[in-house]
C-alpha cells in the first residue's frame, strides 16, 4: 500500500515544489492520501486545481504504473526510502519518486559530476566533452548528464570509453528513448549505469520536461561542468539551477568569435572555474574522496586518464581538427597554428579528408567534417 500511495502522489498534476511543501505539512504520504478537502484547506492549500487532484483517491493509475514497471524492468525509489539520494532530497523541489533502469549508484558516496552543454555543438565541443568526461570517469568521478543530442551524449560516451558507469536523467519515461538515434547509447548506459526519470513509464518527451529534469541532473551531482553552450542554451539553465542549489559550476573556455562558446565564456566571467582537464574538476573534491588522489602519489601532476581522440588520430591530426573545429581556415593558417610544414599539413589533411574528418572548401580552405 505505501508504494501505491507514493506512485499516486508522484502522478498528481501538482508541481514538485508544492509536493515538497505537502510532504513538510503532513507526517507521511499515507497522511496526505488519507486527508480530506477540509484538512488540506486547514494546511493552507486553497488552489482548486490542487484540491481536485488531491481529492481524487483512486489508485487505479498507480496500480497500472506498477504493473508496467514490473513488465519493463523499471524500478522505483520513493523519497522516504534509504536508497533515495540525500544529495537530491535536500534540494528545494526533489522528485517524490524516481523511476530507473539499470543499477542506481549510491550517489551520496560518489563524486558525481554533471557534464552538460549545447545540443548544437561544434567539433571542438564534441572532442572536449568526450575527453573531459573520460578523464573525470577514469579519475574516479561519476558522470551524470541528460542523454540529449550533442554534448550530453558525448559526455556519456566519454565515461563509457573509460570503462565506468554513467547516469542519464531523462525528460521522458525511463523506457522511452529520446532522441531515437541514441537507442544504442541508451542500452549501453543501462548495461553500465542507469537511466533515471521522475516520469512514469511511457511518458513522452514533452518540451517542458527538459527544464524540469535539469534540477535532478544538478541535484544528484556535486558540481556542473558546462562544456559548450550559447547564450540561449538549456545548459545555462542547469548551471543557474546548480548555483541556486549550492553546487559548484565549472566551464570550458571557447573561441571568443563563436556563438556556441558565448555562454560558457560568460559563465567564466561571472565566476565559474575555468576547466581544461578532468582533474581541474576532481581536484576540488579530493579531500572528500581520497581515492581520487591515488594516481598522484607518485608525483604525477594529474591522473593518467587522457582519452585518445576518435579513430586513433595522431597528434598532428588532432591539432588540425581542433584548429578548424570552430571555423574553416586557409591552409596557411592551419600550417601556422599547428606548427607543421606545408608537406606535413597537406599529407595529414589528405588522410583526414579520406576519413571524413575534414572537408576541403574552395580556395584551399578546410572545415571540420561530420565523422569525428
Residue-wise pLDDT for 12-63, tens only, equals 999 999 999 999 999 999 999 999 999 999 999 989 999 999 999 999 999 9
Residues 108-161 pLDDT 10s: 999 999 999 998 887 788 888 999 999 999 999 999 999 999 999 999 999 999
More confident position, 151 or 292: 151
In a domain, 131, yes or no: yes
- For 359, counting Cβ atoms within 10 Å of its Cβ (0-12 exposed, 13-18 middle, 19+ buried), the class is middle
Edge-to-edge strand ranges of the sheet holding 75-78 = 75-78, 97-102, 194-197, 166-169, 142-145, 112-116, 223-226, 248-251, 273-274
User: Cell 574553416 belongs to which residue?
Assistant: 328
In a domain, 304, yes or no: no
Shared domain check, 290 and 322: no
For the chain, how many residues are written?
A: 372
Helix (H) or strand (E) holding 210: helix 209-219
Shared domain check, 332 and 289: no
Q: How far is 40 from 43, CA to CA, in rounded Å?
A: 5
- Average pLDDT over all residues of the chain: 89
Shared domain check, 263 and 201: yes
Give the helix, strand, coil percentages of the chain, each rounded to 5.
50, 15, 40
| Final residue in a domain of this structure, among 11, 43, 69 | 69
Residue/partner pairs of 32-40 with CB below 8 Å, 24 or more apart: 32/5, 33/5, 33/8, 33/9, 33/57
In a domain, 58, yes or no: yes
Shared domain check, 259 and 145: yes
Shared domain check, 339 and 266: no
pLDDT band, very low/low/confident/very high, at 317 (cuts 50, 70, 90)? confident
Which pLDDT belongs to residue 305? 41
Shared domain check, 207 and 348: no
Q: Provide the number of structural domains found in the chain.
A: 3
The per-residue b/e assignment along 175-197, b for 16 or more CB within 10 angstroms, e otherwise, is bbbbeeebeebbeebbebbbbbb
Shared domain check, 287 and 159: yes
C-alpha cell at 111: 563524486
Query: Is the pLDDT at 296 greater than 90, yes or no?
Result: no
* Structural domain for 21, as ranges: 1-69
Shared domain check, 320 and 290: no
In a domain, 185, yes or no: yes
Which pLDDT belongs to residue 54? 95
Q: Would you tell me how many other CB atoms lie within 10 Å of the CB of residue 264?
A: 32
| Final residue in a domain of this structure, among 18, 45, 69 | 69
In a domain, 130, yes or no: yes
Helix (H) or strand (E) holding 48: helix 48-54
Percentage of the chain exceeding pLDDT 70: 93
Q: How far is 83 from 50, CA to CA, in rounded Å?
A: 29
Shared domain check, 120 and 54: no
Amino acid at each position: 500500500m505505501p508504494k501505491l500511495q507514493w506512485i499516486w502522489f508522484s502522478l498528481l498534476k501538482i508541481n514538485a515544489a508544492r509536493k515538497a511543501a505537502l510532504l513538510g505539512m503532513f507526517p507521511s504520504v499515507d497522511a496526505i492520501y488519507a486527508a480530506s478537502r477540509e484538512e488540506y484547506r486547514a494546511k493552507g492549500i486553497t488552489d482548486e486545481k490542487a484540491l481536485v487532484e488531491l481529492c481524487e483517491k483512486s489508485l487505479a493509475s498507480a496500480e497500472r504504473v506498477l504493473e508496467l514497471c514490473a513488465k519493463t524492468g523499471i524500478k522505483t525509489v520513493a523519497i522516504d526510502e534509504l536508497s533515495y539520494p540525500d544529495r537530491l532530497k535536500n534540494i528545494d523541489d526533489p522528485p517524490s519518486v524516481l523511476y530507473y533502469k539499470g543499477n542506481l549508484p549510491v550517489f551520496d558516496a560518489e563524486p558525481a559530476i554533471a557534464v552538460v552543454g549545447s545540443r548544437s555543438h561544434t567539433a571542438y565541443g564534441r572532442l572536449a566533452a568526450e575527453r573531459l568526461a573520460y578523464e573525470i570517469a577514469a579519475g574516479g568521478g561519476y558522470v551524470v548528464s541528460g542523454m540529449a543530442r550533442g554534448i550530453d551524449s558525448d559526455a556519456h560516451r566519454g565515461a563509457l570509453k573509460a570503462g565506468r558507469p554513467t547516469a542519464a536523467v531523462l525528460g521522458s519515461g525511463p523506457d522511452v528513448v529520446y532522441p531515437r538515434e541514441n537507442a544504442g547509447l541508451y542500452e549501453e548506459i543501462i548495461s553500465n549505469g542507469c537511466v533515471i526519470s521522475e516520469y512514469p513509464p511511457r511518458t513522452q518527451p514533452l518540451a517542458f520536461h527538459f527544464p524540469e529534469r535539469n534540477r535532478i541532473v544538478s541535484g544528484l551531482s556535486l558540481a556542473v561542468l558546462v562544456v559548450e553552450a550559447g547564450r540561449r542554451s538549456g545548459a545555462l539553465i542547469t548551471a543557474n539551477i546548480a548555483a541556486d542549489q549550492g553546487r559548484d559550476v565549472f566551464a570550458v573556455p571557447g573561441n571568443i568569435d563563436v556563438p556556441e562558446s558565448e555562454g560558457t565564456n560568460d559563465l567564466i566571467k561571472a565566476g565559474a572555474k575555468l576547466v581544461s582537464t578532468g582533474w581541474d574538476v576532481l581536484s576540488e573534491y579530493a579531500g572528500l574522496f581520497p581515492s581520487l588522489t591515488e594516481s598522484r602519489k607518485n608525483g604525477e601532476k594529474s591522473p593518467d586518464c587522457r582519452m585518445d581522440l576518435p579513430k586513433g588520430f595522431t597528434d598532428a591530426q588532432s591539432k588540425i581538427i581542433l584548429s578548424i573545429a570552430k571555423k574553416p581556415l586557409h591552409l596557411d593558417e592551419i600550417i601556422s597554428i599547428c606548427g607543421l610544414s606545408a608537406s606535413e599539413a597537406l599529407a595529414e589533411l589528405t588522410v583526414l579528408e579520406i576519413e571524413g574528418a575534414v572537408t576541403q572548401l574552395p580556395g584551399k580552405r578546410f572545415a571540420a567534417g561530420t565523422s569525428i
